[in-house]
């Protein structure tokens, strides 16, 4: 524990050293560290106002010097304190912390340290939303944390994330999912031999089954937790086990056992209160003794400083003479070294010039290849079927001829919107998934005019549409082909099934045509041509981002097999805006 007296002494020493040394940045950051430690001590003592005040002072110093990792840490500390007192302002501090750590993560080229910090910040935000009963937001941030962490390494951090997801699913009454996540966390704690984590998970199982109404299982897992807690004296978890068992026996109308565990809970709670009171007394004694020793040390330091000043004057005189002698020797040595380096530098520059010429030629060749690839990708991105344009214009012309003014204006507006969005995205490498889906909806709305029966677009999409990026015009060619087949009366359901999911750092896209084809049908050739074009485009896309395109990333049948199962499935790299 850091006493106030000790902190005052530390501030005095830091200010004194700063005046002598002149290194303002180092000593100001040291001051911030003292404020941080004072905040931590106040938090442990339950003095939350002082804890916030000291951490705010720490944050102000870090912001002065733009120390982003330290700023993020201070914001997280303040958020944790505010959460402990039930202040919803903690959410804003955690959001600021996450924003900074996302920026650090991107600029560090996804370094391991930045990723680990961001993983835990996402988890902390999920825990805050769980505390304030915002379960959808809690689930969102826990899943973000899970998507970044390496799930192949069975670590304590991964177990904590699984536990958060289990608690959130339990609060949303998704008991099976909650049980699955608890099982994953339990497996990790058992593998790393963490009895405290294991006992906590057993209590988690007990809590879920209690909520589910399976009181026998709730008692079973509470017994497992109780056994570990008694062995290792995990008193907080033991209290929870007693309370859960009392509640379960109450539900089972077993008043005898309910009374047993209520008494155990009460005795343990009273025992812990007495123990904590004794600890506080001991801490106060320790603090008193510490401050007493600090006063004695302060007095001795004062006497020592007088002697140090006298010795310092003598050292300065001696050091000045030594410095003059060494300076002369160094000047002579530097002159000799300078001549040596001048000769070597001339030779190295000649070699570097020749290497630079070779590199320039190599870079020029690579630039030409990349330019060709870029032009090819841009051509594919800006493609819009000429058949669609001519059909669209014909459809509008027919409306004009039939004097359907209102429908004509509506179709012209939709066509204008489609052309504008196509042009806007033609020079972009990526757009958000939300933009692509909105484009598809507009396109389908326009095409409904020339269809006999309305076709609906049935979507199964991830929650964070506005965060995920994909290349433009990746899905529309498949939808356009289905519309053409609908006009040929080959569609068997008035819907198009489009499913997009996130799996293993990939964006998985599946389209079910819902059409009826015969072997040898000309429509099969049309679909195969669309599939071939899109496969080529995906190969170029993966090549441009220097990633391997595996065969499993693009699954589409051909020929008679396509007639039996008319669907296509492909995967893109999962890319987020940040």
Helix 4-21 / helix 24-44 crossing angle, nearest 10 deg: 170
| pLDDT number for residue 382 | 46
Q: How far apart are CA 90 and CA 112, in angstroms?
A: 26
β-pair type (468-470, 575-576) = antiparallel
Cα 374 to the chain's mean position, in Å? 31
Tell me: pLDDT of 3 over 80. no
Q: Which of 464, 461, 469 is nearest to 441 (CA)?
A: 461
Per-domain boundaries in the chain: 394-576
Lowest-pLDDT choice from 118-127, 211-220, 264-273, 522-531: 522-531
User: How confident is residue 380, by pLDDT bands cut at 50, 70 and 90?
Assistant: very low
pLDDT digits (tens, 9 = 90+) for 68-99: 999 999 999 999 999 989 999 999 999 999 99
Q: Which of 466, 463, 497 is nearest to 479 (CA)?
A: 497
| pLDDT number for residue 379 | 47
* Contact criterion met (CB below 8 Å) for 192 and 186: no
Q: Average model confidence (pLDDT) for the chain?
A: 81
Q: Which of 1-5, 337-341, 563-567 has the highest mean pLDDT?
A: 337-341
User: How confident is residue 376, by pLDDT bands cut at 50, 70 and 90?
Assistant: very low
Question: Got the DSSP string for 518-569?
Answer: -TT-HHHHHHHHHHHHHHHHHHHHHHHTT----GGGEEE--HHHHHHS-EEE
CATH class as words, domain 394-576:
alpha beta
| pLDDT number for residue 198 | 94
Task: Report, as an integer, the average pLDDT of 223-231.
Answer: 93
- Give the pTM: 0.47
């Amino acid at each position: 524990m850091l006493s106030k007296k000790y902190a005052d002494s530390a501030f005095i020493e830091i200010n004194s050293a700063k005046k002598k040394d002149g290194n303002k940045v180092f000593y100001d950051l040291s001051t911030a560290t003292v404020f941080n430690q004072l905040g931590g001590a106040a938090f442990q003592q339950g003095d939350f106002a002082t804890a916030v005040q000291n951490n705010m002072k720490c944050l102000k110093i870090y912001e002065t010097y733009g120390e982003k990792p330290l700023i993020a840490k201070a914001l997280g500390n303040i958020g944790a304190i505010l959460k402990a007192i039930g202040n919803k302002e903690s959410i804003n501090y955690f959001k600021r912390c996450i924003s900074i750590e996302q920026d650090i993560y991107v600029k560090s080229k996804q370094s391991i340290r930045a990723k680990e910090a961001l993983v835990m910040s996402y988890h902390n935000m999920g825990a805050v939303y769980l505390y304030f009963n915002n379960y959808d937001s809690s689930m969102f941030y826990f899943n973000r944390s899970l998507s970044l962490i390496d799930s192949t390494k069975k670590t304590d951090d991964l177990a904590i994330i699984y536990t958060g997801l289990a608690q959130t699913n339990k609060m949303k009454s998704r008991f099976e999912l909650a049980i699955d996540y608890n099982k994953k966390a339990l497996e990790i704690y058992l593998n790393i031999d963490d009895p405290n984590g294991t006992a906590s998970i057993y209590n988690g199982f007990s809590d879920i089954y209690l909520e589910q109404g399976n009181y026998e299982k709730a008692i079973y897992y509470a017994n497992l937790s109780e056994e570990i807690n008694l062995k290792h004296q995990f008193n907080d978890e033991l209290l929870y086990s007693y309370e859960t068992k009392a509640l379960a026996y109450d539900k089972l109308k077993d008043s005898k056992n309910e009374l047993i565990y209520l008494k155990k809970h009460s005795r343990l709670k009273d025992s812990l209160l007495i123990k904590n009171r004794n600890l506080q007394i001991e801490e106060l004694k320790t603090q008193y003794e510490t401050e007493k020793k600090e006063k004695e040390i302060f007095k001795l330091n004062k006497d020592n400083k007088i002697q140090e000043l006298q010795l310092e004057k003598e050292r300065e005189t001696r050091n000045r003479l030594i410095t003059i002698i060494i300076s002369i020797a160094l000047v002579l040595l530097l002159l000799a070294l300078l001549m040596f380096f001048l000769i070597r530098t001339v030779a190295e520059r000649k070699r570097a010039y020749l290497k630079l010429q070779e590199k320039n030629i190599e870079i020029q060749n690579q630039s030409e290849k990349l330019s060709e690839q870029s032009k090819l990708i841009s051509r594919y991105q800006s493609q819009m079927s000429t058949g669609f344009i001519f059909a669209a214009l014909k459809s509008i012309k027919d409306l004009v001829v039939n004097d359907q003014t209102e429908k004509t204006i509506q179709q012209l507006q939709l066509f204008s919107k489609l052309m504008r969005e196509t042009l806007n995205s033609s020079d972009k490498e990526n757009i958000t998934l939300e933009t692509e889906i909105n484009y598809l909806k507009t396109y389908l709305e326009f095409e409904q005019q020339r269809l006999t029966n309305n076709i609906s677009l049935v979507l199964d999409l991830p929650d964070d549409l506005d965060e995920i990026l994909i290349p433009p015009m990746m899905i529309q060619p498949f939808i356009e082909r289905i519309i053409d087949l609908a006009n040929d009366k080959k569609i068997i359901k008035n819907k198009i099934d489009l499913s997009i999911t996130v799996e293993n750092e990939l964006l998985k896209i599946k389209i079910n045509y819902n059409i009826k084809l015969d072997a040898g049908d000309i429509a099969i050739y049309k679909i195969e041509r669309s599939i071939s074009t899109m496969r080529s485009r995906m190969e170029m896309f993966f090549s441009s981002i220097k990633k391997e395109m595996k065969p499993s990333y693009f699954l589409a049948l051909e020929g008679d097999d396509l007639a039996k199962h008319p669907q296509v499935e492909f995967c893109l790299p999962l890319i987020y805006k940040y």
